[in-house]
Structure 1
Amino acid sequence: MAMTAARAYLLVYNAAMCCGWAYILGRLLWTVTAPPPAPGAGYPHTPIYDAVAPALRVFQTGAVAEVAHAATGLVRTPAATTALQVGSRLFLLWPILEGLTPVHGHMAVATMVGAWAATEVPRYAFYAVGAAAGSAAVPRWLVWLRYTTFLPLYPLGAGSEVALILAALPVLARARGAYLSIAMPNAWNVAFDFWTWCVFIVVMYVPGLPFMYMHMMRQRRKALGGGQKTKAA
């Protein structure tokens, strides 16, 4: 059977995302294991983030397409859940990491990016193979990786995200009302304090983490339990 345009697009998209995240993971591991630079060598103060940031901007932002895929029915994935997952990462990437350079040197940058990348490589590989050859052709080991890596990596990634937001709070407090905030009075008669929003986001991790974890556990049981066939999105 000839490959449809939709399947061809999903193959290219998922293969590109898999390669991008593999590159990010490789850059991260290379930087973490590389010997420290000699004093005065002009090495950046935040080597880990500087090493992964260019590719991270491209490939994490590229995940916005997944929301469109789900919303248009191109893949059978809940659009709301996809938007929540992608949105939380974009919040960490752009307003927190890209907007607040003092956070770049936090150790949670490495654990967060590592957890993201190690999860995404098998996930996108799973979808790429499914788009290319059908769900029945996806190797069992890849199915297992796709639905198992999140078990340790999701709590690690989420914990690192919370750690980075908490690290950003003192930075935001010093610029309170100036960074991504709207003060009263104004023509719209609205106010927004980004520091307060970050505190709210941290609080929302308390119910959000178990909810998302249980959602993924249900997906895992459906894919691996009872001998059911896996359906690649």
Structure 2
Amino acid sequence: MDDIACVIQTVAVLEVLHGAIGIVPSGFFSPLMQWSGRTHFILAIVGQIKEVQDLPWLSITLVAWCLGEMIRYPHYALTCLGRCPGWLTYLRYTGFIMIYPTGLVGELLIMYKALPHVKEKNLYANLFSVFPFSYYDLLWAILLVYPFLWLKLYLQLFKQRKSKLGKSEKHHGKRKRM
């Protein structure tokens, strides 16, 4: 895995901090869940298991992540400046509907494909020697709960979408355009 991807994903912790101090309206918990999941995926799995680095699902996952960020970050920046156009707000609260499930499927498939390599290499054995389970066991547990945690984030995005896009006031029997 390219070191630049690892550095960029690690530095993305700033989004968690921005949410925590209120620079962006996302709050703390959702960005923390997304950041920790992606960082684990990039550093602990993709960065350590060369056998998954050439799988097409990795490219699909990274493209989905990039598309999401290419919408979110300009939206955040322009919203902070009070200059966000309506079309970008619409894209921000609609684009995720297809982008997020695509990223999820890619992440899950890569983690699943990594399992035999994690077991074969006994990955992170020293780190997990103090626990009654291995990293392989933890990765299985993550695979089982990940869709439910993801669903929580996904449904939260629909609530945000309704909050941001559902507020269009009616004007003379017609909805106002953004």
Q: Same fold (TM over 0.5)?
A: yes
Cα offset for 1:57?
Answer: 2.2
Which consecutive residues of structure 2, in runs of 5 or more, have no partner in the other structure? 170-178
> Does the aligned pair in 2 maintain the 1:181–1:192 contact within 8 Å?
no
- In the TM superposition, 1:54-203 aligns within 5 A as 54-131=3-80, 133-134=81-82, 137-176=83-122, 178-179=124-125, 181-183=127-129, 190-203=131-144
Q: Which has the higher contact order (CA 8 A, sep 6+)?
A: 1
Residue identity matched to 2:40: F
What CA distance in whole angstroms lies between the structure 2 residues aligned with 1:130 and 1:177? 43
For the Cα contact (< 8 Å) 2:115–2:136, is it kept in 1?
A: yes
Counterpart code for 1:147: Y
The count of corresponding residues between Structure 1 and Structure 2 is 169
Tell me by how many angstroms 1:180 deviates: 5.9
Greater gyration radius: 1
Aligned-residue Cα RMSD (Å) equals 1.9
Q: Structure 1 residues 220, 177: CA separation in 2 closer, same or farther (over 3 Å shift)?
A: closer
User: Identity rate of aligned residues, in percent?
Assistant: 27
Retained in 1: the 8 A contact 2:24–2:76?
A: no
Q: Any idea what SS the aligned residue of 2:54 has?
A: coil
CA distance in structure 1 between the partners assigned to 2:72 and 2:126 by the alignment: 33
Q: CA deviation at 1:72?
A: 3.0
**Structure 1 residues 57 and 182: alpha-carbon distance in aligned structure 2, compared to 1, 3 A threshold:** closer
TM-score (norm 1): 0.67
Letter in 1 for 2:148: P
Greater shift, 149-158 or 64-73, is seen at 64-73
SS of equivalent residue, structure 2 residue 22: coil
Helix, strand or coil at the partner of 2:167: helix
- Structure 1 stretches of 5 or more lacking a match? 1-48, 184-188, 229-233
| 1:227 Cα offset (Å) | 1.1
- Asked if 1 retains the 8 angstrom alpha-carbon contact of 2:111 and 2:139, the reply is yes
State TM-score, norm by structure 2: 0.86
Pick closer, same or farther for the CA change 1:155–1:129 going to 2, 3 Å: same
How far is 1:147 from its partner? 1.1
Q: Distance in 2 between matches of 1:66 and 1:206?
A: 22
Distance 1:116-1:178 versus aligned 2 partners, 3 A rule: closer
